[in-house]
Amino acid sequence: MDKKKRIVIALGGNALGNTLPEQMAAVKITSKAIVDLIEEGCEVVIAHGNGPQVGMINNAMSALSREDPNQPNTPLSVCVAMSQAYIGYDLQNALREELLNRNITHIPVATMITQIRVDSDDPAFLNPSKPIGHFMTKEQAQEAEEKYGYIMREDAGRGYRRVVASPKPAQIIEIGAIRTLVDSGQLVIACGGGGIPVTLNGNHLKGASAVIDKDFASELLAEELDADVLIILTAVEKVAVNFGKPEEKWLDNLTTAEARTYMDEGHFAPGSMLPKVQAAVKFAESKEGRTALITLLEKAREGILGKTGTHIHR
């Protein structure tokens, strides 16, 4: 590589597993791919999703409140905070071990519990659509609505689930601390699960019943840290148009204008590839010379060298 690049990596759920044992195994593989990039001379910052983990924590805390009437219901924002610490604990230890295994002894690893401000008047709050937690019967759903004020929706004949808003991230509260750690040479894990969603009332931060898309949070983190590259890791090596059809086409390079055209034509699935492409386009357009890369975890090193993945630029 010609110069040291600052890279923000958005890890998807496949990089972390779905259970405690799966996560312990997955972070070891994930750490190898991340340290590969460090060995290429990159300065790396890590963000990640938390779908399975926050669901597990939310279910466990809900079960506790059902079993013990004295235990209050745990707010979703607190569950997100728990997931950040739990994932960060495993991930930072796996990264530290992998660095030391390669005789890289000068890079400390730290997890920052990160709050992200969302706007209380974000339109997403008017139409909560993100399902979380376990499935319930109609009677259980009615009880949750009455007891906790949850919004419950029937989910494709499988039962009822709680739905929450997914507002856009507006401000990373701890960005100053994150920037200081990154600038001092530390390997930082931040904005886990899209960040703990909070709203601002005067000087008071209040947890919101919401989840923030980790790709949009990672994009904001990359902008705030003046990163050169945003890597969004997913389950495919490249982005495709006409995905799954006979005329399927895998894309190596995309201008932001081309990506917008494909989005307008409906090529990318909402809740899947669409937010990744939207985040990539936003980052690539935010400053001259910035590039986004969408690829597989195990292809990240080849991707940053320009050998694979979908590269999105102005």
For residue 21, give both structure tokens.
């044992």
Q: Are 228 and 5 in contact (CB under 8 A)?
A: yes
Residue 214 annotated among the catalytic residues of the structure: yes
Residue 130 annotated among the catalytic residues of the structure: yes
CA distance 212 to 214: 6
Catalytic residue, from 14, 18, 59, 93: name it: 14
Catalytic residue, from 73, 130, 159, 168: name it: 130
CA distance 21 to 191: 23
271 Rama sector, left if φ>0, alpha if ψ -120 to 50, beta otherwise: left
Residue 307 annotated among the catalytic residues of the structure: no
**Eight-state DSSP code of residue 168:** P
Residue 4 annotated among the catalytic residues of the structure: no
Catalytic residue, from 12, 13, 17, 309: name it: 13
Q: Where are the beta strands (DSSP E) in 128-215?
A: 130-136, 152-154, 160-164, 171-172, 187-189, 196-201, 204-207
Catalytic residue, from 195, 214, 299, 309: name it: 214
Catalytic residue, from 276, 282, 299, 309: name it: 276
Please give the positions annotated as active site.
13-14, 130, 214, 276
